[in-house]
Structure 1
Amino acid sequence: MISQTLRTRFVPAALAVALLGTGMSVATAQPAAAQPAEAAPAFAAAGKKKAKPKQYLKFVKNKKNPSNSRLHLMAAGKKKPVATWRAGSGNGSTNACKPNAGWLPNGSYKIKFHKKNFNGDKIKGYVIKLQDKKCSNGTKRTELFIHSEMKKNGKQGPKKGKDSPWRWDGNGDYKSLACIKLKPAHIKSLFTKSSAKGWPKTLKVV
């Protein structure tokens, strides 16, 4: 046991002398495990939080004249609108449970997508798609959009008769099958202003 202990003590010393004789430093000869380990981070980096939308849309109904209501672009936390446009919803009916006629039910809507070249059967060009919504009696309102009257490319179609579905002919065009409608120039302005500070994720109808 004693001889083994002596060997354990003297072998490293002899190795150090031998290394010095060759010009190699003792520090160089130390095993890597002898080097102080870097301190491990105290905690993992926290995941990035999702940025809250800076803007949202707000549709304010006009009970006296639904086709002369207002659509506001709102900044989060602000009472004054960023911009306001005249807008209509429905064909004049204030019955929110009447599909394809009454204005939109009150509440909050998720914005599903927005496109500048939508090519639907009845709606084309600049559109904002809204989620489906149940009214007070449980009737589900579907196919809800914010849109105008234009061609797929955003331009006005030729004038055909008193009212063309692809051309804005006057104030009568604010009426719809329950969607929210704006003038072509106004929905384009809405797209421009919405893109400037991040697209709204929700619409509030009051």
Structure 2
Amino acid sequence: MGIRQRLVPLAAVLALTGGLAAVQTTTALAAQPASGQTKGAAADGTYLYFNKNQSDPGNSRLHLMKSVPDAKDEVLATYRAGSGDGGANGKDECASSQGWLPNGTYQVLAHDAHYNGGDLGVNGKVIHVEDKVCENGRTTRAELFVHSEMWPEGSQASPRPGEDSPYRWDGSGDYRSLGCIKLKPADIDNLFSKAGRYGWPDELKVVS
């Protein structure tokens, strides 16, 4: 659907789709990566780092990171993000269309500013990552993205009382997802801007 393909000379496997709900709190949650704790795939390259918040999955954190040779990696930007549907299986990485993303490293396949996902409900600015087999060794999580809620061209649908539109960001509840990582529109706009400036990430790292 017009996704610009990015060929990456790196090995890594993954999958993403959606976002997660939760009201932002002042509790200590997913902190940024510790000094030297994680390294990008290539020197001076960028990558995404998703840190799950066990107590509030919809209030997790997504970082845009820069890999720095022989030094701690640099945090370029940090965003509130969610993954999973917020239900009983929301933390089950093997629960397709319910649970959050499995831990691990994913290869970024493409990014698109005007993606039209149709019935998938993934539109506008998206970053597509690889499918990933979860911890049971049998279930593959597929159709995984970092995305928000908007029309394919990036605008917001008009509000309708009592309707939760996949084309409009209504609030904290929209951090819920079918497994993808979701950001609010202003944050994914900022992520695209910074990735365009610093370089597009080749990998996504997901940790608990």
Q: Structures share a fold, TM > 0.5?
A: yes
TM-score by length of 2: 0.73
Q: Which residue of 2 aligns with 1:112?
A: 109
Q: Which residue of 2 aligns with 1:198?
A: 199
Kindly indicate whether structure 1 or structure 2 has the higher relative contact order, using CA contacts under 8 Å at least 6 residues apart: 2
Q: Which residue of 1 aligns with 2:168?
A: 167
Identity %: 53
Structure 2 counterpart of 1:135, one-letter code: C
Spell out, residue by residue over 1:140-171, the C-alpha distance to the aligned partner (whole angstroms, 9 max, x if none).
10010000000011011111233111000000
CA RMSD of aligned residues (A): 1.7
For residues 140 and 174 of structure 1, the distance between their equivalents in structure 2, rounded to whole angstroms, comes to 22
CA contact (8 A) 1:53 1:200 kept: no
Q: Which residue of 1 aligns with 2:124?
A: 125
Q: Which residue of 2 aligns with 1:71?
A: 62
More helix by share: 1
For 2:78, which of 69, 73, 84 is the aligned residue?
Answer: 84
CA contact (8 A) 1:53 1:198 kept: no
Q: Which runs of 4+ in 1 moved over 6 A?
A: none
Structure 1 residue 74, shift from structure 2 partner:
0.5
For residues 177 and 62 of structure 1, the distance between their equivalents in structure 2, rounded to whole angstroms, comes to 17
For residues 61 and 110 of structure 1, the distance between their equivalents in structure 2, rounded to whole angstroms, comes to 18
TM-score by length of 1: 0.73
Structure 2 residue runs of 5 or longer lacking an equivalent are 1-8, 11-41
Structure 1 residue 53, shift from structure 2 partner:
5.7
For residues 117 and 191 of structure 2, the distance between their equivalents in structure 1, rounded to whole angstroms, comes to 20
Structure 1 counterpart of 2:169, one-letter code: W
Q: Count residues with an aligned counterpart.
A: 158
Structure 2 counterpart of 1:73, one-letter code: L
Spell out, residue by residue over 1:116-142, the C-alpha distance to the aligned partner (whole angstroms, 9 max, x if none).
000012111000001000111021100
Question: Rg: which structure is higher?
Answer: 1
Structure 1 residue runs of 5 or longer lacking an equivalent are 1-48
Spell out, residue by residue over 1:182-201, the C-alpha distance to the aligned partner (whole angstroms, 9 max, x if none).
00000010000011121110
CA contact (8 A) 1:53 1:201 kept: no
For residues 53 and 163 of structure 1, the distance between their equivalents in structure 2, rounded to whole angstroms, comes to 41
For residues 80 and 186 of structure 2, the distance between their equivalents in structure 1, rounded to whole angstroms, comes to 11
Structure 1 counterpart of 2:107, one-letter code: K
2:99 counterpart of 1:98: no
Structure 1 residue 54, shift from structure 2 partner:
1.5
